[in-house]
Homo-oligomer: A and B are copies of this chain.
Amino acid sequence: MRERPSRATPHTVDAVLATATGNELAILLVRNSSERERWSVPWRTPQAGETLAAAAATVAKDALGEPPAWMEQIGAFGDGKRHPSEAEVSVAYLGLVPHDTASPRTGYAWFQVTELPPLAPRQRAMVEGATKAIEGSLDQAPIAFRLLPATFTLSELQHMYELLLGKRLHKASFRRALQAAWLVEPMDEWRSEGRGRPAQLFQYLPKKKRRPHRGVRFDFLYP
């Protein structure tokens, strides 16, 4: 990503790195020296033989010093939209990092998703795709846990879900569903956070077997 090829590059790999700050999602951008836009989603032209996922991991590592806790491809973008590179196609990856461990290298900075600076159109499409992917796979993948530190309170977990879903959840329902899913393990530690009763700490406990949905879901609105 550093070197700018003199002629058209075949494709780029772009990493939309997200974290959750306070009460909003934030995206990591890198400062441009010479581009039309002052900021861009970090990207890279893969070396010969480098896999897409490996290239994305490298981009993330260059930005944060360590690989993200979660990474998945969210698709290929092109369609005539402009990109900082000359490439016709860019493959976008979504990476998630807990906010506490996420210290960007110099030149990189977090931006709230609602206050993003201007981006190249193709990269703006990627960010939109990434936020959709987060919401869409929230109940398919342990997204929320990848945005939290290794240990957390149930209130923190619930707030993370509320942030990602964009709606309030009822405490009792949330905990009942969580218990039924066997996703979380209580630890023998409590944390006192100013006033109020101390909260027990929990850690993520991956599921072993999937229990299929009951019923059929018809939850779409496509034309």
Contact with B along A209-223 (1 / 0, CB 8 A): 111110111111111
How many A residues face the partner with a CB closer than 8 A?
Answer: 60
| Choice from B1, B141, B173, B218 contacting A139 with Cβ under 8 Å | B218
A195 within 8 A of B: no
A10 within 8 A of B: yes
Chain B residues within 8 Å of A87, by CB: 1, 10
Chain B residues within 8 Å of A91, by CB: 76, 78, 89
| Choice from B10, B213, B216, B219 contacting A89 with Cβ under 8 Å | B10
Contact between B75 and A218 (Cβ–Cβ < 8 Å)? no
Given A8-B5, A218-B139: A51 touches B75 (CB 8 Å cut-off): no
Contact with B along A166-205 (1 / 0, CB 8 A): 0101000110011011010000000000000000000000
Chain B residues within 8 Å of A220, by CB: 139-142, 207, 210
State the 5 A-B residue pairs at the shortest beta-carbon distance, nearest first: A139-B217, A181-B218, A51-B79, A5-B8, A10-B10
15 CB-based A-B contacts, threshold 8 Å: A1-B86, A1-B88, A5-B8, A10-B10, A10-B11, A73-B76, A76-B76, A76-B89, A139-B216, A139-B219, A142-B222, A161-B216, A181-B218, A208-B221, A210-B221
